[in-house]
Amino acid sequence: MTAVAAVAVVADVGSGSGFGGPVSFADVGLALVLVAVALVVSWRRRVGLESDLAVATARSFVQLLAIGYILDFVFRDHGAFTVVVLAVMIGSAALTSAGRAAGVPGARPIAAAAIAAAAGGTLGVLLALRIVHASPRVVIPLGSMIISSAMNTTSLVMSRLRQDLAVSRREVEARLSLGQPSREAARPWQRLALRTGMLPTIDQTKVVGLVSLPGAMTGMILAGASPLAAIRLQLLVMYMLLGGNAFAALVSGELTLRRLFTPDHQLIRTLRRTPP
């Protein structure tokens, strides 16, 4: 089975043989018993997460129901909406990522650019090399995986770079005082931020199959595909995420750096005012 066909199998999990039949809403309702267990634990142990659990459960239901109907609509001869779906995903991811990058001016456009670069660059390569077909059923699920992973990378890079430059203000300004351009002066901290952003995916790739059976592979196996077909898809996904996150780290690191310095190679005012 090719990777493309494997994706199609994952998407068809609703009638998957791995469950012995389609998962009905009644089945989903029964699974709420497990949420009830979590609620009881939270309540009895006074963890105080009951409302969070309720909101998370309700939101996941509504959001997945909505995306289910949307994907169903797009997959039924409305492929032109693929770009819209991906754009909405990128926008939502950018808002979430920017929310974790307090103190970075222009965090939203930076995150949007980085995540879009990750999605566009990675999907572009996959399509150009004809590894996958330009079909909504393939592009949307793969795109969502790239976007989700790039969102985390972008958050890490933006927040780490901002935080490190604030903490290391004395060292950064010592380099600037020696006549180094801001890009050169900040290079050690930019390098650290890129490492921070990219390492989780690299580590995940290193231990895949040893520590966990990741999502795409698990989905295929549950859907009844052979494990050998599942690993081919999983490898594709892992390599795709490595590439996508590199795009996201590079773009977010570069754009964040530009926004944390003035054109005159000064740290921005809020960083200058931070006691070193």
Partner 1 sequence: MTALIEYREVRVDGDDGPIVAGFSASVPASRLTVMVGPSGAGKTTLLRLLNRLDDPDGGSVLYAGRDVRSYDVLDLRRRIQLVGQVPVTFPGTVAGNLLLALPAAGDGGGGDVAGWLARVGLDPGLATREADRLSVGEAQRMCLARSLALAPEVLALDEPTSALDTASKAGVVRLIRALADSGLTVVMVTHDPAHADVADHVVRVEPYSPDRRP
Phi, psi of 261 (to 5 degrees): -125, 155
Alpha-carbon gap, residue 118 to 242, rounded angstroms? 10
Stretch that binds partner 1, among 22-30, 67-75, 242-250, 258-266 (CB under 8 A): 258-266
**DSSP per-residue codes, 186-251:** THHHHHHHHHHHHHHHHHHHHHBTTTB--HHHHHHHHTT--HHHHHHHHHHHHHHHHHHHHHHHHH
265 binds partner 1 (CB under 8 A): yes
104 binds partner 1 (CB under 8 A): no
Alpha-carbon gap, residue 68 to 52, rounded angstroms? 23
176 binds partner 1 (CB under 8 A): yes
Alpha-carbon gap, residue 55 to 76, rounded angstroms? 31
Query: To the nearest whole angstrom, how small is the minimum distance from the Cβ of residue 242 to partner 1?
Result: 29
Alpha-carbon gap, residue 229 to 131, rounded angstroms? 15
* H and E: helices and strands count for the chain: 12, 0
128 binds partner 1 (CB under 8 A): no
- Our CB check for partner 1 shows the closer of 15 and 270 to be 270
Binding letters toward partner 1, positions 133-172, x by CB under 8 A: -------------------------------------xx-
- Our CB check for partner 1 shows the closer of 59 and 183 to be 183
- Our CB check for partner 1 shows the closer of 22 and 181 to be 181
180 binds partner 1 (CB under 8 A): yes
- Our CB check for partner 1 shows the closer of 20 and 179 to be 179
272 binds partner 1 (CB under 8 A): yes
| Closest by Cα among 142, 128, 134 to 89 | 142
Chain residues in the site for partner 1 (CB under 8 A) = 170-171, 173-181, 184, 264-267, 272-273
